[in-house]
A = this chain, B = another copy of it.
Amino acid sequence: MQTKILLDESHIPKAWYNIIPDLPGPLAPVINPRTLQPVTPDDLLPIFPMALIEQEVSTQRWIPIPDEVRDIYRSWRPSPLFRAYRLEQALGTPAKIYYKYEGVSPAGSHKPNSAIPQAWYNKQAGIRRLATETGAGQWGSSLALACSLFGLECTVYMVKVSCTQKPYRRSMMQLWGAEVIPSPSEFTNAGRTILAHDPESPGSLGIAISEAVEDAASHPDTNYALGSVLNHVCLHQTVIGLEAKEQMAIAGTYPDVVIACCGGGSNFAGLAFPFIADRATGKQVRCLAVEPASCPTLTKGVYAFDYGDTAQMAPIAMMYTLGHDFVPPGIHAGGLRYHGESPLVSQLYHAGAIEAKAYKQTACFEGALLFARSEGIVPAPESSHAVRAAIDEAVLAKEEGKEKTILFGLSGHGQLDMGAYDAYLSGGLEDYEYPEALIRASLERLPQVNV
């Protein structure tokens, strides 16, 4: 009754999988918010190193992973793949449930998979400091870790509501040497503008991105690093799915459905894209992106050009969006509170190549509790969305009397999110309703792009 499939370090992928050449069609151009013309590499050089700009637009299917990055990956990769025997038993399902666990990284989530290469490429480019934003704190702590390992300075603009909800994430960033600034802050024009309007603003990922981008753009020795959404971030995360495919093969099976939570999209992309690649060989796998009902980008947003950030400084991309000034309620899955969606994931969803589903947070915590009490591991609130969807797939398999193989991504552990579990256990968790009027208003302010 083998519970986990481990791989030794020689099985850390030697190249990332780039889905761009395998997309259903060409990607829409990314637009410069000032000129409303397609972005050029020169537009991006003030905030990104050339190596990452090249990855952003590369049409090579495989991009080699530098040895220095693989050396750091060795500290926790390949991550384990688990068979959830006890959860299956608790559900009485005929389905086989597998989960790929990224909580084994020092930061406790999948985020270091991209933080490490981003820090490394910036170090190679002679950059001294990285600025970034963080919602739940998982990306910020991962970049702080990466900067610590490569000797870079790190400034993190942390969404204000998350600073309060997740003080231990802040401490972890500081432990790894980063400077943490609650956002919106007085340190940037973007932050000051928001505060002038709403001094009590809880912040949002969109606002924090504006602050970090402004910081990077106004300091020549500083670059910006983004933890999701962009093509190169999705690219880096594909180590998850590449390893999982090898591990599923060792387990002697292949998933009927692959499930992952989806905020900016890189976690979903990381697990699902390598399986989507298999469709070329005739394999049929459903891929399900799970998002919160309070920030339902794929399931209730529109596919349109929109700004990546609130202050309209970041590039405009063709993506599913709730509007760049949509501020979602302060749910506990802080990492899923982004108004937009990875253009790659968006295009696949628009083409019908993947599915999406939204859950309210109480349902997710209910699933996470069952998972913790049967499998042991405490899921991150973000990951609990995938847990819940996997449970529902397994219950459906039971109702239909079908054997089915389910693979889901457990993107992180929730040991730093116990305040959220406290709220759930004490019945104090609110299920925010989707604010239709707010989104409609926000969608009226999309940019007009003609390219």
Contacts and interface: CB of A to CB of B under 8 A. Distances in A.
Interface in A149-199: 149, 167-168, 171-172, 174-177
A416 interface: yes
A34 interface: no
Interface string A312-356: 000000000000000000000000000000000000000000000
Interface in A100-123: 104-108
Contacts of A125: none
Contact of A415 (B71, B172, B177): B172
B172 A378 contact: yes
B3 A419 contact: no
Given A2-B74, A168-B415, A415-B416, A176 B373 contact: yes
A52 interface: no
A422 B169 CA distance: 11
Nearest to A70: B1
A82 interface: yes
A266 B207 CA distance: 49
Given A175-B378, A175-B425, A418-B167, A82 B75 contact: yes
Contact of A375 (B75, B82, B369): B75
Contacts of A425: 171, 174-175
Contact of A418 (B2, B8, B168): B168
A41 interface: no
Nearest to A373: B148
A149 to B, nearest CB: 7
B376 A145 contact: yes
Interface residues of A, number: 43
Interface string A5-25: 010110000000000000000
Given A168-B418, A425-B174, A3 B74 contact: yes
A360 interface: no
A104 B104 CA distance: 7
Contacts of A369: 175
A75 B85 CA distance: 10
Contacts of A373: 148-149, 175-177
A374 B145 CA distance: 9
Contacts of A44: none
A149 B6 contact: no
Contacts of A275: none
A2 B6 contact: no
A362 B55 CA distance: 44
A372 B419 CA distance: 24
Contacts of A86: 149
Nearest to A375: B75
A377 interface: yes
A115 to B, nearest CB: 11
Contact of A372 (B1, B175, B376): B175
Contacts of A96: none
A357 interface: no
Interface string A362-391: 000000010011111110000000000000
User: 4 nearest interchain CB pairs?
Assistant: A106-B376, A171-B418, A3-B74, A168-B418
Interface of A: 1-4, 6, 8-9, 71, 74-75, 82, 86, 104-108, 145, 148-149, 167-168, 171-172, 174-177, 369, 372-378, 415-416, 418-419, 421-422, 425
26 contacts: A3-B74, A4-B75, A6-B6, A6-B8, A75-B377, A86-B149, A106-B375, A106-B377, A107-B376, A108-B415, A149-B374, A149-B376, A168-B416, A171-B425, A172-B378, A172-B415, A172-B418, A172-B421, A174-B421, A174-B422, A175-B369, A175-B373, A175-B421, A175-B425, A177-B373, A415-B415
